[in-house]
A and B are shown apart, each in its own frame.
Chain A
Amino acid sequence: MRIEDIFQDLPVLQTERLRLRKLSMHDVEDVFAYASSPEVARYVVWTAHETIEDSRTFVASVLEQYDNGVISPWGIENRDNGRLIGTCGFASWNISHARAEIGYALGREYWGRGYMTEAARHALAFGFEHMGLNRIQARCEVDNVGSARVMEKIGMSYEGTLRQQMFVKGTYRDMKMYSVLRRDWR
């Protein structure tokens, strides 16, 4: 298994309400709509987009990842109206240890309605079924309650808090580690 075997051509995943598919340049405005929110950017490594140019740069960088067959996220499309409402996907993949990490971001008005859980569940299934993973992990800051809840709802268990593990936007952050193992996943 090689990284490009999967990421050379990231397939579309259809869920009940969502479509996980590659981002495209047509999504720039939708990306700006959610990524310009300080609330959405609060717990992620990137800063809130200030101009549409920031969103264009972001989408272009993801398109380049697709082209290079490296690890890259899905865009999350709301099937109701075709709008792009966030991203979800693998952030790192260690093939020799059969483990990977997922990460995600979602537009503010979609929080608390199970969208992220729905998307992340399908990402997990994809990881266990197509990437040969044994362990999928996710991390969030200690006070990011919403993200921790998603991790729990998709069947992950809390493993501990890694203190001051990440330096993000000027401060050292304590990160909670969650994971789900293949044998516990259904």
Chain B
Amino acid sequence: MIDDTIFTVLPELDTKRLHLRELPPVAAEALACHRPDPASVLYFNRMQPDHTPIIGQAPFAEPFGIHDLPPWGISIRDGSEMIGFCAFHSWRLRHSGAGLVFGIARRHRNQGYMTETLGEMLAFGFQRMELKRIEVACVAGNAAAARVAEKAGMREEALLREYVRVGGRICDLRIFAALADEWTPR
């Protein structure tokens, strides 16, 4: 059974070093405007041209539709500063699949925070959303994002050529996925 409490409010999650909590709309906006480094934000199918994610559509009007969850903001435990975000998007209820999008401020990169977050997201997606497949799509040039997906245990599956237009440029997407069937809880 899908844990349907997540439809009212995203639960707060703790990892070894991080605290994740639902971004209030204002903070989501701030993060989007802040956007210090577009390259740190994974580009995905439903991202808007200015690199802000499409956030929190009216949830679950159709039982077999496609839905986005609101994003979690990521902060370092015992700190209040929001250093990044992550969110499930394109949750296809019929097919038990969803995509993940994430981004982190440049000065907090290369410390494994995003990998740690993704590990938590996989656990959440497989256990509480009952997903079978979780996907990350990143622009072919975004090596940092691809590395995070790999480090989180996702397998690269496909290169979709000229799949998205990003600010006038047309880009290939690399597709990574983790399957519930192959995933082991830590």
Contacting pair A134 B162 (CB below 8 A): yes
Q: Does B97 contact A (CB under 8 A)?
A: yes
List of B residues within 8 angstroms of A135 by Cβ: 161-163
Query: What chain A residues lie within 8 Å of B160 (beta carbons)?
Result: 137, 159-160, 177, 179
Would you call A181 an interface residue if the criterion is a C-beta within 8 Å of the partner chain's C-beta atoms? yes
Quick check: is B138 within 8 A (CB to CB) of the other chain? no
Chain A CB within 8 A of B147 CB: no
Q: Are B165 and A96 in contact (CB under 8 A)?
A: yes
Does B27 sit within 8 A of A, measured CB to CB?
no
How far apart are the CA atoms of A167 and B155 in the complex, in Å? 20
Q: Which residues of B contact A125 (CB under 8 A)?
A: none
B96 touches A159 (CB 8 A): no
The count of A-to-B residue pairs whose CB atoms sit within 8 angstroms is: 58
Q: Which secondary structure characterizes the binding site on chain B? A: strand
Q: Which residue of B lies closest to A99 (CB)?
A: B163
A166 touches B165 (CB 8 A): no
Q: Does A17 contact B (CB under 8 A)?
A: no
Q: Across the interface, which residues of A come within 8 angstroms of B165, CB to CB?
A: 96-98
Asked if B96 contacts A167 (CB within 8 A), the reply is yes
- In the complex, A14 has a CB within 8 A of chain B: no
Q: Determine if B186 is an interface residue (Cβ-Cβ < 8 Å).
A: no
In chain A, residues 138-159, which have Cβ atoms closer than 8 Å to a Cβ of chain B? 157, 159
Q: Does B114 interact with chain A (Cβ within 8 Å)?
A: no
Q: What is the total number of residues of chain B having a CB less than 8 Å from a CB of chain A?
A: 22
Chain B residue with minimal CB distance to A94? B45
A68 at the interface (CB under 8 A from B): no
Q: Does A163 contact B (CB under 8 A)?
A: yes
B94, B161, B177: the one within 8 Å of A163 (CB): B177
| Option from B155, B157, B159, B170 in Cβ contact (under 8 Å) with A134 | B170
Q: How would residues 145 to 172 of chain B score, 1 for a CB under 8 Å from any chain A CB and 0 otherwise?
A: 0000000000101111111110000100
With A165-B95, A167-B96 known as contacts, the answer to whether A160 contacts B164 (CB < 8 A) is no
Q: A159-B159, A159-B160 are known contacts. Are A164 and B175 too (CB-CB below 8 A)?
A: no
A179 to B177, alpha carbons, bound, how many Å? 20
Asked if B181 CB lies within 8 Å of chain A CBs, one says yes
Q: Is A46 an interface residue (CB 8 A)?
A: no
A 76-118 to B, binary, CB cutoff 8 A, 1 in contact else 0? 0000000000000000000011110000000000000000000
Question: Which residue in chain B gives the minimum CB-CB distance to A158?
Answer: B158
In the bound assembly, the distance between CA atoms of A172 and B181 in angstroms comes to 11
- Whether a CB of chain A sits under 8 angstroms from the CB of B132 is yes
B106 within 8 A of partner (CB): no
Q: What are 17 residue pairs bridging A and B, where the CB atoms are less than 8 Å apart in the complex? A: A96-B165, A134-B162, A135-B161, A157-B161, A159-B159, A159-B160, A160-B157, A160-B158, A161-B157, A162-B175, A164-B133, A165-B97, A166-B95, A167-B96, A167-B132, A177-B158, A181-B161
Please provide the 10 A-B residue pairs with the shortest distance between their CB atoms, ordered closest to farther.
Answer: A160-B158, A167-B95, A160-B157, A159-B158, A164-B133, A135-B162, A164-B132, A97-B165, A97-B164, A166-B95
Q: Known pairs A159-B158, A164-B133. 5 more at Cβ < 8 A?
A: A99-B162, A160-B160, A160-B175, A163-B177, A164-B181
